[in-house]
Amino acid sequence: MKQNKKHLLLSPSKESYEEKWGKTISYGSIALIGLVVISIIFFLTGKGLALFFKDHANVWQFLTSSNWEPSHNSFGALPMIVTSFVVTLLAGLIAAPFALIIALAINEIFPKWFGKILQPIIELLVGVPSVVYGFAGLILVTPVLRSLFGGSGFGILAAVVVLFMMILPTMVSMMVDSLRATPKTFRTASYGLGATRWQTLHMVVIPSAKGGLLTAIVFGMTRAFGEALAVQMVIGNAALMPQNLMSPAATLTSVLTTGMGNTIMGTSANDALWSLAFVLLVMSLVFNILIKLINKKRG
């Protein structure tokens, strides 16, 4: 009898078994996700470099030439790369100050009850499918631009407006969370020293939340850089070097979505599209590294 009691005391408890299984499932899930990410990177790298190793295209010409005619073995990706950066930077630069103002208003100025109503609405907009934004740009933005500036209304400016509408809720939601993470003692100490609300926001709250605010901006720009469908619907899809904001153009993602289904696997034209996808992957990794560096500096 004593041996049975001793065995029960020394045997692992139910909680320890559950903790062990929980750790096993967690580590297995992490390993699976890591394996999937590594597989995607290796797959896209192999496909993306096939144009240069198998079809013997020139890397420098691919990155610097503006002539994109895959049917004639001319692979100049510069117009798409430039356009992708232009629409991303413009949308990010326009959305960032608006997002900061709205986030400050929700967290610092508006009554709490109003902020509790407004924030869920903004977070709901984050989950709206991109095709909805693209459709809104198609029926609302392009006709307005056409009446104001002439032309077809399709072009870089239309894409910037649509991306602005898409990334603004994302930036606002992340900025609100970052501002709320600022300790209340910082504000109390600032008020105790005689600072006004605006001085506290400018000199204390915003500098304290700077890392989170920058992360929100970079994250929003990352989403803008990788957006495909909404941009494709309003940008005009012309693989030409942009001349002005109203000229039709094409981004890396818009060329991929329009061309991938119209090429034969293994041909030079198909390999060129995979090379564009590889460039898009590299830039997405760069954006993620920037976010990591910002968070590391913040910590």
Q: Would you kindly state where each structural domain of the chain is located, as residue ranges?
A: 14-57, 62-297
- Helix ranges, 127-262 (H): 130-136, 142-149, 156-180, 184-192, 197-200, 206-208, 210-226, 229-234, 252-259
Are the C-beta atoms of residues 240 and 261 closer than 8 Å to each other?
no
CB within 8 Å of 266: residues ≥ 6 apart: none
pLDDT digits (tens, 9 = 90+) for 168-194: 999 999 998 888 888 888 888 888 888
pLDDT confidence band for 164 (50 / 70 / 90): very high
What's the whole-model pTM score? 0.83
Q: Average per-residue pLDDT in the chain?
A: 84
Lowest-confidence pick of 94-98, 211-215, 227-231, 264-268? 264-268
Residue 166 structure tokens? 């898409």
What pLDDT sits at residue 7? 54
CATH of 62-297, picked from 3.40.50.1820, 1.10.10.10, 3.30.930.10, 1.10.3720.10, is 1.10.3720.10
What pLDDT sits at residue 165? 92
What pLDDT sits at residue 12? 62
What pLDDT sits at residue 13? 63
